[in-house]
A and B are shown apart, each in its own frame.
Chain A
């Protein structure tokens, strides 16, 4: 999700702790300590039937943070727990984390005003809120200990999870119940950053152990008594509709219990996955493709290219473009084509629902609870309060589970409804379902044109972009201002470069192919277009790629300058070039963070092979450098996979041509470059790291490849055969 999206939403007032409750834990043995947002003070208390706030202190001294953000690999469980533990003065060993259930009233993302994870906002929006949770809990533990021991609160200390006064010492658990009855401090002081002992230091993630011994529970791992596994036969082309089906052969497959028509297609319910697979194969389904996308991607590219050429609507304009080109001594032009991309998380989409006595409970890696919960409720005809979504670990998402359309919630709700009885159902997609399923990164065409005068100044810069809107047709449509979806071109406008004149245009294209945010959203293509085209322009102007960029930066672009200079220094940019190696640099600001990367590339059978990547990142205060480095490494690998291999194409008639990892390949270990990451020291509030590692890699790779071979990359992925 994009930073523009975040801005477009009304930010919620900062929710601070204000209410606490005591209750018996699930086993009746532990006492739990809850802190709920201040904003709810005047409202009826939330039902105390489940852990539904931010913090739970067990009698065994464990401190469990309920993460309002989905853990899909980017580390929010650990990050949020770090913020709480810092102010609580807990010992890291006592910290735990688990997903908070769907509940907008408690768990809103403060950047969105609604519960959801995305746009690399998890830490940024929680930075003050979760530290306040920790500080509040600390103050109440201190008050409880002071009352119990009959000493002044000011003399009670907490350090490393131990409450002490004189010779007296205690863990948190013994005081959890009493703490919950203590007055809530109005504004507990937060630490000065110089006093941080956890924030800013490395630590492994809380969910790592469970992910190394097979015990981590993901959606597909959930089993419920009597549960049926459901696979859905889906349309063969985008926009095709179901005409009829014959389920005789499917129902004859041992283990297949029923077949139902739902909105998404034909659902086969079976005992176990294999029976469901066989049952689905045995279905005879007739589809109507009259209204479907019938164009191949070649044809779509032609249409989009013509629209980009026409210029689209102006989304940014500055200076006199005509005069800028008139003053140019040379003009550089280029078109760059980007295909549809599937997110392809390793755990394909899935969801588990159990309906019993007029209530529904779900378990899945739900990324936008704010949309999903009412969608399930509506599909089942239940009040929202009777739908509980347990948000659990997701085996990757990269944007795929963040659906404005809530189509998975709709599907699992319909599956339960269509069953016509109470019961538990697990819907899962195969890899083929996933790759054929749409919700792709939008296919995009950029057309760029720049004028350079005799002195090497860029007198004019135009970039016209044609693609589908992500927000249009979803609940987010209301946030499109003046018919413009900023996620379609973010990163192409508001550039900190000094150009004599500039115009950015956007042509909104239509297709029945559903599109979605895809790790770094608009920046997936804009950074590539801007930074590879600029590289060509700088060369034409006789300038060095690094120095040329630095010279173009506006004076106030200090953070941009710092990451570029740092990446250049790390890579010894001015040093000698190794034989047979090419070097390229690129940078991008996305989701509030600044990342520059230098790629070293060699020619391996006519294709680029990245050997090393140097990465400088400024994401404000570094909460956990280990996680930041991991996200840069992972973002680099994800982006390299994309640049080298990723393409979802539609053949003649509109069918998807790829089906599994043999023709939608992923980067493998022998293709992964060595990665060096440097984090810029900062005292600015933290921004995200889940996405910002992605945008610079593709353009830095293409720039390195052009430096090595002279070849301009005008489409992604890199062609399988070199066109030399």
Chain B
């Protein structure tokens, strides 16, 4: 039995505690906005917030989230995620879209942790763990700058 909070709701799962959080979210809770890309924390498509910090859910066993608070793309709230989503649409970032939940989670975490507008180097550092095979990087960078302006950082 693993008990934790997902998107503000109490959840109890009676499955193998070694199960990666990614598959618990997708297969058991049907929260499919969080994506599988590599399974070894190399691509960032599975990024969620665990206790407010970005985390690769594909390498996070369920046992590690016991009593914790998980937020997925579906449950994100606040000015940062709103600014990011708005910028993502305005700049039309996604192509195939598979990696974008993870990109948006990482970008949101960066803006939540930024007291001032992130520089290109800050963006590189925060986003280098998220692969986009469609290479939408030019627009990801532009959208993060745009979101930072919306947030008046």
Q: Is B45 an interface residue (CB 8 A)?
A: yes
Contact assessment for B96 and A395 in the assembled complex, using a CB-CB cutoff below 8 Å:
yes
Q: Is B115 an interface residue (CB 8 A)?
A: no
Contact assessment for A672 and B135 in the assembled complex, using a CB-CB cutoff below 8 Å:
yes
Instruction: Write the B7-51 contact mask toward A (1 if CB under 8 angstroms, else 0).
Output: 000000001101110010011101111111111101101000000
Q: Is B95 an interface residue (CB 8 A)?
A: yes
Q: How many A-B residue pairs have CB under 8 A?
A: 186
Q: Is A174 an interface residue (CB 8 A)?
A: no
Closest Cβ of chain B to A630, distance in Å, is 6
Q: Is B54 an interface residue (CB 8 A)?
A: no
Docked CA distance A666–B28 (Å):
30
Most chain B beta carbons < 10 A, residue from A210, A395, A396, A674 = A395
Q: Which A residues, 171 to 229, have Cβ-Cβ distances below 8 Å to chain B? A: 204-205, 207-218, 220-221, 223, 229
Contact assessment for B137 and A345 in the assembled complex, using a CB-CB cutoff below 8 Å:
no
Knowing A204-B90, A630-B92, the reply to whether A667 touches B135 (Cβ < 8 A) is yes
Knowing A74-B95, A346-B133, the reply to whether A213 touches B139 (Cβ < 8 A) is no
Instruction: Write the A644-668 contact mask toward B (1 if CB under 8 angstroms, else 0).
Output: 0000000000000000111000111
Interface residues of A, dominant DSSP: loop
Chain B residues, CB < 8 A from A229: 27
A270 and chain B: residue at smallest CB distance: B27
Chain B residues, CB < 8 A from A128: none
Contact assessment for B37 and A431 in the assembled complex, using a CB-CB cutoff below 8 Å:
yes
Q: Is A95 an interface residue (CB 8 A)?
A: no
B97 in complex: contacting residue of A211, A273, A398, A675, CB < 8 Å:
A211
Q: Which B residues, 102 to 132, have Cβ-Cβ distances below 8 Å to chain A? A: 104, 123-124, 127-128, 130-132
Contact-residue bracket for chain B: 35 or more
Q: Is B63 an interface residue (CB 8 A)?
A: no
Contact assessment for B34 and A344 in the assembled complex, using a CB-CB cutoff below 8 Å:
no
B38 and chain A: residue at smallest CB distance: A431
Closest Cβ of chain B to A287, distance in Å, is 23
Contact assessment for A345 and B96 in the assembled complex, using a CB-CB cutoff below 8 Å:
yes
Q: Is B99 an interface residue (CB 8 A)?
A: yes
Contact assessment for B92 and A669 in the assembled complex, using a CB-CB cutoff below 8 Å:
no
Chain B residues, CB < 8 A from A214: 31-34, 72-74, 101
B127 and chain A: residue at smallest CB distance: A669
Contact-residue bracket for chain A: 35 or more
Chain B residues, CB < 8 A from A74: 95
Contact assessment for B97 and A669 in the assembled complex, using a CB-CB cutoff below 8 Å:
no
Knowing A213-B33, A254-B16, A346-B98, the reply to whether A204 touches B133 (Cβ < 8 A) is no
Contact assessment for B37 and A212 in the assembled complex, using a CB-CB cutoff below 8 Å:
no
B73 and chain A: residue at smallest CB distance: A214
Chain B residues, CB < 8 A from A212: 85, 88-89, 93-94, 100, 104
B62 and chain A: residue at smallest CB distance: A274
Closest Cβ of chain B to A669, distance in Å, is 4
Contact assessment for A395 and B23 in the assembled complex, using a CB-CB cutoff below 8 Å:
no
Q: Is A670 an interface residue (CB 8 A)?
A: yes
Contact assessment for B94 and A346 in the assembled complex, using a CB-CB cutoff below 8 Å:
no
Knowing A395-B98, A660-B38, the reply to whether A630 touches B139 (Cβ < 8 A) is yes
Contact assessment for A638 and B133 in the assembled complex, using a CB-CB cutoff below 8 Å:
yes
Docked CA distance A634–B133 (Å):
8
Chain A residues, CB < 8 A from B20: 274
Q: List 5 A-B contacts (CB under 8 A).
A: A274-B20, A637-B138, A641-B135, A660-B42, A667-B137
Residues of A with Cβ closer than 8 Å to B?
72-75, 204-205, 207-218, 220-221, 223, 229, 254-255, 272-275, 344-348, 393-398, 428, 430-431, 626, 630, 633-638, 640-641, 660-662, 666-670, 672, 674-675
